[in-house]
């Protein structure tokens, strides 16, 4: 007697969940590599991760999994694409078919080279030595070209890589949305520059002891909803968030006693990622309904807590008295001056420290450069010069060295080509979601002033986190907000914040 559809579905779930266990071990090794691994351990770690990557690939491309998914695809469990079983089967079939196009040898070589690349990048950045990093970068770009060709694409090889992070998004769509956003941002930034108003940003460069920054940041992260019973905060050279398991979420930051904003808003940012991870359905762990729908959606959660909440005046009406008691550097600082300082708009070199108005110009630069590298219109050796030229053209500044220029981000060293645009997509999603939450809940600013972040937390939990991959990113935006993704809400948010600050009112 043939197995029922329900029995085959359970077999699929068991297979995929076991595969997820292997992936979680790989993720834990990646966290350790970037936080605790001794300098000499990089080579062996590369072999460990290579082994696991190959094992995970074998399980995803197992012909039996393909047969099971094919059997279920036309059956009743897949009939409603938005049901629990329908959503899981839709995404699992997509993932199986995508991975089946990639040779195991290529997957393993990418994993190995990414670990070695991150180790090389770390040293190259510390030594301001792009030449030392260049050979691994060239190898990684070559491997990513092979990956794009294996996956296939209709318009640009960049489409094939972008699809891993933002499924169903296309390069041509990105060019259009980024262009519209740029056309709105450039006049806004110009108006701010021409206003002549400038905050006293030196407030944030006073002495803020690292131990107190850490405790204050942990307190803020906990207050907005990050669960430290199921998570932890550590130090790294490039902040990130990872979740080796449904009750194990790791966030990281970096500290500078003369740069309060960097660590604090970095913690809020990563806590936003962590809150999303902690809000996914535990009963669906390892399955699509227990996973974030895209990196852009993930970024929307971090940018929302960092910027739309964390840089708002209402947030600091609650937290500033606490900060003044904690940091003597703020004793003589007024709330208005502090809020102006943390919303300072000026062209800067470092993406992760950029203000909301200029941040997306940093992303545009990286998007254009990595497309050119992938499409062989730019050689790796020419990257520093091209980087500096674009910073002059887009932001009117030039990095004094490669450490604060082309070497500032870890992404390319890890083979994450196609990743950068998800940051701007995250900003767009965040603004549109926040506007909908305000319309649904009302009085969010009043809640923040009271130190009550639960209404927004609960709204995000129900509307976004618990949905997992039930919808695609575009479908989720329409489902939650009633409209397709638009640059309008982000531009409205930026104008609403910066025109009062820089318009003289």
**pLDDT per residue over 380-428, tens digit each?**
999 999 999 999 998 989 999 999 999 999 999 999 999 999 999 999 9
Buried b or exposed e, range 238-256, using 16+ CB within 10 angstroms: bbbbbbbbbebbbbbbebe
What digits encode the pLDDT tens for the residues 270-293?
A: 999 999 999 999 999 999 999 999
Mean pLDDT confidence for 136-150? 97
Q: With a cut of 80, say whether residue 504 has pLDDT above it.
A: no
Indicate the average pLDDT of the chain. 96
Of the candidates 178, 494, 217, the residue with the CA atom closest to the CA atom of residue 354:
494
pLDDT (tens digit per residue) in 185-230: 989 988 998 998 999 999 999 999 999 999 999 999 999 999 999 9
In the prediction, which pLDDT does 353 show? Answer: 85
Task: Classify burial at 64, counting beta carbons within 10 Å of its beta carbon; exposed 0-12, middle 13-18, buried 19 or more.
Answer: exposed
252: left (phi over 0), alpha (psi -120 to 50) or beta: beta
Distance, in Å, from the CA atom of 304 to the CA atom of 325, rounded to the nearest integer, reads 26
In sequence order, the 6+-apart residues with CB closer than 8 A to the CB of 8 are: 68, 71, 72
| Gap between the terminal Cα atoms of the chain | 77
Number of residues assigned to the chain: 505
SS3 235: strand
pLDDT at position 225 is 98
Q: What pLDDT shows up at residue 193?
A: 87
Give percent of the chain above pLDDT 70.
100
| Half-sphere exposure in the Cβ direction for 5 (13 Å, CA) | 14
- Kindly report, residue by residue over 462-493, the tens digit of the pLDDT: 999 999 999 999 999 999 999 999 999 999 99
pLDDT digit string, tens, across residues 220-251: 999 999 999 999 999 998 899 999 999 999 99
CB 214 within 8 A of CB 255: yes
Q: SS3 sequence, 171-200? A: HHHHHHHHHHHHHHHHHHHHHHHHHCCCCC
Q: What is the pLDDT of residues 313-363, one digit of tens each?
A: 999 999 999 999 999 999 999 999 999 999 999 999 999 889 999 999 999
Asked whether the predicted pLDDT for residue 14 surpasses 70, the reply is yes
The residues carrying an active-site annotation are 270
Q: Check: CB of residue 185 under 8 Å from CB of residue 169.
A: no
Compute the distance between CA of residue 307 and CA of residue 495 in angstroms, rounded to an integer: 14
Whole-Å CA distances, 68 to 13, 71, 87, 94, 289: 11, 5, 16, 13, 19
Q: Name the β-bridge partners of 249.
A: 231
pLDDT above 70: residue 505: no
């Amino acid at each position: 007697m043939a197995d029922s559809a329900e029995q085959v579905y359970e077999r699929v779930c068991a297979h995929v969940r076991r595969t997820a266990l292997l992936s979680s071990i790989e993720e834990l090794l990646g966290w350790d590599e970037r936080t605790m691994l001794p300098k000499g351990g990089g080579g062996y770690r590369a072999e460990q991760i290579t082994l696991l990557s190959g094992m995970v690939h074998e399980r995803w491309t197992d012909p039996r999994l393909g047969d099971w998914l094919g059997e279920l695809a036309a059956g009743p469990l897949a009939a409603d694409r938005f049901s629990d079983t329908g959503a899981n089967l839709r995404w699992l079939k997509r993932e199986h078919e995508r991975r089946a196009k990639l040779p195991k040898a290529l997957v393993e070589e990418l994993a190995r080279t990414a670990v070695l690349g991150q180790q090389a990048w770390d040293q190259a950045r510390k030594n301001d030595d792009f030449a030392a990093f260049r050979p691994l970068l060239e190898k990684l770009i070559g491997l990513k070209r092979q990956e794009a060709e294996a996956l296939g694409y209709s318009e640009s090889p960049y489409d094939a890589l972008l699809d891993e992070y933002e499924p169903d998004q296309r390069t041509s769509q990105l060019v259009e949305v980024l262009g519209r956003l740029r056309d709105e941002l450039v006049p806004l930034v110009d108006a701010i520059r021409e206003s002549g108003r400038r905050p006293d940003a030196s407030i944030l460069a006073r002495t803020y002891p690292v131990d107190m920054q850490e405790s204050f940041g942990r307190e803020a992260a906990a207050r907005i909803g990050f669960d430290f019973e199921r998570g932890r905060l550590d130090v790294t050279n490039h902040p990130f968030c990872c979740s080796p398991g449904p009750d194990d979420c790791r966030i990281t930051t970096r500290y500078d006693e003369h740069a309060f904003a960097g660590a604090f808003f970095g913690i809020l940012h990563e806590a936003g990622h962590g809150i999303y991870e902690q809000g996914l359905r535990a009963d669906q762990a390892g399955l699509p309904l227990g996973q974030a729908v895209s990196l852009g959606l993930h970024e929307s959660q971090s940018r929302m807590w960092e910027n739309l909440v964390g840089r708002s005046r209402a947030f600091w009406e609650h937290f500033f008295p606490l900060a003044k008691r904690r940091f003597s550097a703020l004793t003589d600082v007024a709330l208005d001056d502090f809020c102006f300082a943390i919303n300072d708009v000026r062209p800067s070199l470092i993406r992760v420290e950029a203000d909301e108005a200029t941040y997306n110009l940093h992303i545009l630069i990286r998007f254009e450069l990595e497309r050119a590298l992938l499409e062989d219109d730019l050689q790796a050796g020419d990257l520093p010069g091209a980087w500096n030229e674009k910073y002059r053209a887009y932001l009117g500044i030039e990095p004094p060295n490669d450490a604060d220029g082309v070497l500032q981000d870890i992404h390319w060293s890890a083979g994450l080509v196609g990743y950068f645009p998800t940051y701007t997509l995250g900003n767009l999603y965040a603004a549109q979601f926040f506007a909908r939450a305000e319309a649904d809940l009302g009085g969010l600013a009043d809640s923040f002033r009271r130190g009550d972040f639960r209404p927004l937390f609960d709204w995000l939990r129900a509307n976004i986190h618990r949905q997992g991959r039930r919808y695609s990113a575009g479908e989720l935006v329409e489902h939650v907000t009633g409209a397709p993704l638009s640059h309008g809400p982000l531009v409205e948010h930026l104008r609403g914040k910066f025109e009062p600050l820089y318009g003289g009112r």
